[in-house]
Structure 1
Amino acid sequence: MSRKVLAVLAVIILVVIVLFATGFWSINQTREGELPDVDVSAEGGQLPGFDADSKEVVVGTTETEVEVPKVETETTTVDVPVIGVKDSGE
């Protein structure tokens, strides 16, 4: 929608709201409404039947040899940065 159409629609809605809010327009109910009487009769249905064949899924493990890299670690002493707070009185 173009902006002009949206602007016109917004102005119309605003005018209608103002007319109702100021009491220039009012709506009064003149008679009660009621739902229609409905008679329903139905017979039971039947779901469709299916015969499905499927394969069996088998999950398991098997042993095999795989090359895996060997990682070794050693402990070394290094200097690391330290952050602290010093009190002005010390």
Structure 2
Amino acid sequence: MRTILVALGLAALILAGLMVTGMVSIDQTRPAVVQAPKFKADVGKVELGTTNKTVEVPTLQVEKADGAKQQ
């Protein structure tokens, strides 16, 4: 029972976050008088892509101190 409540709470928080950022917009299109209310939901779109790029990576050189022991 606790797991279900936690899952519902997380779902509510995620939905609230999406509504705040504008990714989800829910509008009531028919009032709830005798019939069940009707809602229309517009959701945002996310597109993913890839790009090949060449990136310079720094090199690292380590030198032992003059008095260091050889192993």
Q: Which structure has greater strand proportion?
A: 2
Q: Which structure has greater helix proportion?
A: 2
Question: TM-score range, shorter-chain basis?
Answer: 0.3 to 0.5
Higher relative contact order (CA 8 A, sep 6+): 2
User: What TM-score comes out, normalization by structure 1 length?
Assistant: 0.29
Rg bigger for which structure? 1
